[in-house]
Structure 1
Amino acid sequence: MNNKKTIKKIFAVFLLPALLLSGCGKQSSNKTLIPGSSILPAPTKAVTEMETKKANQIDLTGVLTYVNTDDLIMHFVDIDTGTEYEVAYTGGTDIQDKYGKIIAATGTQLGQIYDVTCNKSGKATEIHGSSDAWEKNSLTGVEFDESARRVKQAGSSYVYASYAAVLSNANKINIAQIVAQDEVTLRGVGDTVYSITVDKGHGYITFQGVDAFIGGYASIGTKQLFEVTSGMLTTTQEGTYTVELQKGSLTGTKTVTVARDASVTVDFSEFTTKATQRGAVNFSITPANAVMTIDGVETDYSQPVSLAYGKHRVVLSANGYEQYVETVAVSQAYQTVVIDMTASSATTTAASSTKTATTAANKATTAADLTSGYTVNITAPEGAALYVDSVYIGLVPCSFHKSYGSKTITLSKSGYKTVSYTVAIANAAGNLTYAFPDMEEGSDAQ
């Protein structure tokens, strides 16, 4: 990594909660720009510039962000101040992991937190993995609340420092560029996160030749299931997947490899409509009075149900039971599907049922949609194609209907690298306008 290359000014995106989609067009003059904050990093300082209380020794605890084994230089972001210091090391420097195992400089890990001791000339004498540091590995579905500076994942919540180092493929990135599909590691000391590294990032799949599948469903391995739309582009975790498109009896399957920060195109135009095959599905349901919908249509299942070959979304609802959702694959002339719904403990008595209904009513009042009638406007980068959760919206400048919830915003433009941001729109009234950073020139095609 060239540490001296020009760092472009990036405008951080305020994460405010989510969206109903509409057409795009020119911006009207009554929109309010929310500019975000400039995150141009401060220049790296020599470790000898660090304030220290010991005349013959310089100590710091910092996140490792850069290693140059040719020039014997490392960079550490001081967890106390957020200042990035350049530290020189030698072949005699004592380098250890946090468990006391001696390692080479090549064995250090970017994003790890180290206790560093230097002599007064700035040469490192010790670089030890900090025994006070903790880490949480292989986390997915991570959400970032920038207003409160909190990381949320699977019911857990952590505070992160405003200067936390965010790294992907040895490069510093904007925290908003981490999306739900990414797998990350959090590292911190005490109750504060100082380092976020992307272990598995994301790339992009562009779909072509899908006209015959529009309105059907697409699946990417076991990770994603979504409706097929015209011109769709998905943000997907790096890896190799079986991609399947299905509408009624028409099915198309491809194998695709997604690389980090790269785009791959999958063409389904070779698949054509064929005669519809149907199978009879005998549903055995407990309780017998459950209401069933198949693909959104209420269905009588007292007799075997005739369904086209392929996948169908089955939803069951019954008083006193938890809602049941399953994707049923029909692939033969006759089959039986047995489903036992789970009783809901919250509805075991009439009293608890009444309480549950009251609580639900109160929640419904609290969660009233305040976003209806408002729009989210994207003003930059101009000319980029805008996608929201894989659905094509139009060319920037562009707008869509506002609704709350976390969404993935993806920007694509010929001659530039595709990029995604996580955006959360709050359940609040008012229009929003965002100007995203300039896109990086170059091709991300595999």
Structure 2
Amino acid sequence: MDNNYFNEKTKGIEKGFPIILGIGCFIIIVAAFMAIPKGQGRGSAKTLLSAGKESDGEEQTASLDFDKQIIGVLKEVNRENNSITLFDVKKKEDIVVNYNSGTIIYDKYEQALVLEQLKLGELVDAYYNMDNLGLVKLQISNQTWEYKNASNWGIDTINKIFSIGDNKYKYDRNISILSKDTFLKPEDLHEKDLLTIKGFDREIFSIQITKGHGTITFEDYEDFIGGIAYIGNDAILPITEDMVVTVREGEYEVTLENGSLAGTKTARLKRDENVLLNMGEYRKPAVKSSLVSFEILPEGAELYIDDVIQSYNEPIKLEYGEHMAKVILKGYETYENTIIVDEASKNIVIELEVPLEDLDDSDGYTSGRTDNGEERDTGNSDDDRPSSKGGKQVSGQLIYVLEPEGASVYLDGELKGIAPVSFPKITGNHYITLIKSGYETKTYTIEATNDGEDAYFNFPEMLKQ
């Protein structure tokens, strides 16, 4: 009887167990549902995002609560009021969001960063709440593109077109251009700058100058002017006065050369700075020079030294060595000769010669005036032209040529001076040639005798050419 009773009890328990188990599961499910925080159940208008964070080597999962996401340019971080200014690349407007210790900051690979690691001009994905502008998450955007250390770029500031190699992009007045943490204008960019360029789609929003430019100037470099400057491997330039060289920041070996003269200095150039190089220790060897005085007869001739016309009223400074001298005066033979300058000062006398054909054109007329004022004319045919052969100088007696004044007076082709002029009497028949710039050359014959008197001659006025 006892065994039958036990068996009946066991069968009753087995029949009720599923009911008890079902009630227990229901209670667990209800308890779990009630544990879900408010605002995160079904029907919530907010987006739920799970992100992993590492703390002491353990992964933690935090639920981030936000309702707005933008791509923006990081323009300002204000640590006094914990705010960040972003430029929304789609709406083209600034927005200020607030951060706190709970704000998550990632690089594009979702590696944790601190705020100080973000640079102004960075393109970021920003997640925030619109009601209080609280920044939940800030991540370097992986939706944008960038060119690092671009040197093959160009900019059209009129049409707002930026080219990188063969690719062209647009930009507008909101573009962020930074040199370190200083904002610049597009016009401030220099072709020597290395740039990191960031954009979205076909538009550029941010430019960081990764390597800027500076300038190199020179002093005490006069001996190099006209030569060539070598600026490292960056540039080869002609050397000019007041030269300014713009190059990328860095260190350069700067070499100036002019003929056999060469000098090298090191320039360590920082961004937006100038380096002044003094080249005074490099000098050409001193060149010896001479002061050369020229006496040229007749007056009015032009003097050329090495094919350069010179004024010879004062001594001319010439370097030691050979120089080509040339003297020109109408009505005279052109003088050309090499002069050698080999002393500190030198005096050179050049007398131009009358062409032989001018001497042969003598009209056979002699006009003279003796001491009693009488004029005499003598006509000589070609057969009996006067000759000074055999004549000799008479002591104490002179020949005076008084007129025309200012004319160069030649006796038998030898310059005697400018009229009025006197010179020793030589007996015999002679040619007197008169030459004056702008006038016709004229030749006369005279006869000088040993008569114990000085001879005076007044010739007719010269005819203008």
Give the TM-score category using the shorter length. 0.3 to 0.5
> What TM-score comes out, normalization by structure 1 length?
0.47
Q: TM-score under structure 2 normalisation?
A: 0.45
Highest Rg: 1 or 2?
A: 2
